[in-house]
Structure 1
Amino acid sequence: MNKFRTCRLIWLLICALSINIFTNSGAQAQKKKPVVVFVTGDHEYSGEETLPIVAAELEKNYGMKTIFLKAKDGPNDEKNIPGLEALKDADLAIFYLRWRQLPKEQLAHIDAYLKSGKPLMGFRTTTHAFNFPKGHESEKWNAFGEFALNSPPGWGGAAKHTHYGHESSTDVTVNPDQASNPILTGVTGPFHARSWLYRVLPDYPTKGSTLLLTGKAVNADKEAIENPVAWTGTNSFGAKIFMTTLGHPDDFKLEPFQRLIINAIHWELGKPIPKWKGKMNIDVTYRTAN
């Protein structure tokens, strides 16, 4: 009888330990969800409305934790994006910015993230994320597009970074030599995007970038020259980057564009490209630019 009781106690102890290990493993798994921080603030493309839908999808169907940051007093508030300290815990930072003038204490959080070498992603106007006056102590941030995302260093200027007219749109094709790139899984082309095409050639994306998608202007107001609209690479801090010059709210309605985003986020995090969970319902209105 004593032997039976001893065996039973041992068995109960093993069960208790197993349950504890299983519970702790579950808790660990929860803690290890990748953290994706979205940083938004643009006057024109409603990134603070389209990207929360993407963030919710990442949480619901793709096992990620997201933190969403936006300009404090609406998209025209160029000088305050609260909560940027969240970047210290981010595994991936996603930017959709346009002509911000953030205070240096907020820029310090972005600077620390860049210097960490962690991956980042940018949409459309993030090529000209900042717009400090000439001579300002933070003027170097005007080149964020170049040093962070391999794109032109701000709008216009020597890089001739401009776009076709607002009445134009863009036919997008997959670069044939990248057809098997995992980021392009399920991204069937060609597809038509509402975004008017950005000019980044001839000097950008920076050397060594991988060009995934090419766009050609439709109903162009000047000679229609094909330009890259999505690329990957390594930035000046040694981080993996994904950049797309698409990002009009109507682009987010397109399944190929949605799949591109979900795939790129997984690629940035070093995760396998997931099974597609279905099209998101993204119906957001374009604002007129200021």
Structure 2
Amino acid sequence: MHALPGLANTMAPRKPYVVFVTGDHEYSGELTLPLIAAELEKNYGMRTKVLKAYPDYNAEKDIPGLEALKEADLAVFFLRWRLLPKEQLTYIDDYLKSGKPVMGFRTTTHAFNYPDGDDRKTWNAFGEFAFGSPPGWGGKAAHTHYGHKSTTDVTIIPEAAKNPILTGVEPSFHVASWLYRVLPDYPAKGSVPLLMGKSVNPDKEAIDNPVAWTWQNQWGGKTFMTTLGHPEDFQVESVQRLVINAIHWELGKPVPKQWKGKLDINVPYGHPKKS
């Protein structure tokens, strides 16, 4: 049989499938990321799925639906100190080892918090092996932040100014996030820092630290990581552009030629646990 003339050209291309995995105690990622997902579907030709901790953001042992990662083209993580069962970790493990791209926000540097003696404890270093970030909170990496009363001035790193992820991002802008310390040992060797943060009103002596970078993990997966993620950060148009651009970059697509406009994101901060 022969295809009808022009039939192949009428088939719509497959839409990229982006799966968001949320559960972070504090920063309302389960509320902000669905708004990003909706924008991707409305204006950027993507399919999305948002997974949430069950029964709420404080529940550490269950994120239903992780089997969606088997079909995902991009996995986006906003996690904090989860204690997921092995069968759920397997979906994340299989995804990572497929070499597909990953994106992480803020507390994903310490996504898991298994106790000593637990054979899942190696997952506490998820931030390091997936994103080139410090391997969990505190510890030898001195991964900490500069106080909940501080904020952060962000600037484009000059060497990265022409990176497509930074298209339309202002040279400098201000965010509510208190600055995370990742230096001196992170981001990992081979990373490309994009944005630098300077703590404003820190609670201790502060040094400037990268707040966004790209990297390639050991399975060949493209990585974008940002330590930004306070819900008020998502109100900043430059942060919105950064995220939308990075998602396109991760998927191997050109960044949008035309910005569809600022998103209306108004999510409160105030989950009870701190970090």
**TM superposition score normalised by structure 2:** 0.96
CA-to-aligned-CA distance 1:40-79 (integer Å, 9 cap, x gap): 0010000000000000000000000001101010000000
Query: 1:1-290 to 2 correspondence within 5 Å?
Result: 17-18=4-5, 20-23=7-10, 25-26=11-12, 29=13, 32-274=14-256, 275-290=258-273
> Structure 1 residue 224: deviation in Å?
2.1
The separation in 1 between residues aligned to 2:173 and 2:231, in whole angstroms, is: 15
The separation in 1 between residues aligned to 2:99 and 2:206, in whole angstroms, is: 36
The separation in 1 between residues aligned to 2:272 and 2:180, in whole angstroms, is: 15
Letter matched to residue 215 of structure 1: G
| C-alpha contact 2:134 2:143 (8 A) present in aligned 1 | yes
Letter matched to residue 222 of structure 2: K
| C-alpha contact 1:217 1:224 (8 A) present in aligned 2 | yes
Secondary structure at the aligned position of 2:159 is classed as: helix
Secondary structure at the aligned position of 1:222 is classed as: coil
The separation in 2 between residues aligned to 1:231 and 1:21, in whole angstroms, is: 39
| C-alpha contact 1:40 1:48 (8 A) present in aligned 2 | yes
Structure 1 217/89 Cα, relative in aligned 2: closer, same or farther at 3 Å?
A: same
Structure 1 21/99 Cα, relative in aligned 2: closer, same or farther at 3 Å?
A: same
The separation in 2 between residues aligned to 1:59 and 1:18, in whole angstroms, is: 31
The separation in 1 between residues aligned to 2:18 and 2:40, in whole angstroms, is: 9
The separation in 2 between residues aligned to 1:209 and 1:288, in whole angstroms, is: 32
The separation in 2 between residues aligned to 1:82 and 1:152, in whole angstroms, is: 27
| C-alpha contact 1:43 1:287 (8 A) present in aligned 2 | no
Secondary structure at the aligned position of 2:109 is classed as: helix
Secondary structure at the aligned position of 1:59 is classed as: helix
Letter matched to residue 16 of structure 2: P
> Structure 1 residue 181: deviation in Å?
0.6
The separation in 2 between residues aligned to 1:20 and 1:190, in whole angstroms, is: 49
The separation in 2 between residues aligned to 1:279 and 1:68, in whole angstroms, is: 21
Letter matched to residue 17 of structure 1: L
What is the aligned-residue identity percentage? 69
The separation in 2 between residues aligned to 1:183 and 1:95, in whole angstroms, is: 18
**TM superposition score normalised by structure 1:** 0.91
| C-alpha contact 1:69 1:81 (8 A) present in aligned 2 | yes
Structure 1 22/181 Cα, relative in aligned 2: closer, same or farther at 3 Å?
A: closer
Figure out how many residues of one structure are paired with residues of the other and give that number: 271
Secondary structure at the aligned position of 1:130 is classed as: coil
Q: Which has the higher helix share?
A: 1
Letter matched to residue 245 of structure 1: T
> Structure 1 residue 236: deviation in Å?
2.1
Secondary structure at the aligned position of 2:4 is classed as: helix
Secondary structure at the aligned position of 1:17 is classed as: coil
> Structure 1 residue 235: deviation in Å?
1.1
CA-to-aligned-CA distance 1:124-164 (integer Å, 9 cap, x gap): 00000000001101000000000000000000000000001
> Structure 1 residue 18: deviation in Å?
4.0
Secondary structure at the aligned position of 2:228 is classed as: coil
| C-alpha contact 2:24 2:79 (8 A) present in aligned 1 | yes
The separation in 1 between residues aligned to 2:39 and 2:200, in whole angstroms, is: 31
| C-alpha contact 2:28 2:271 (8 A) present in aligned 1 | no
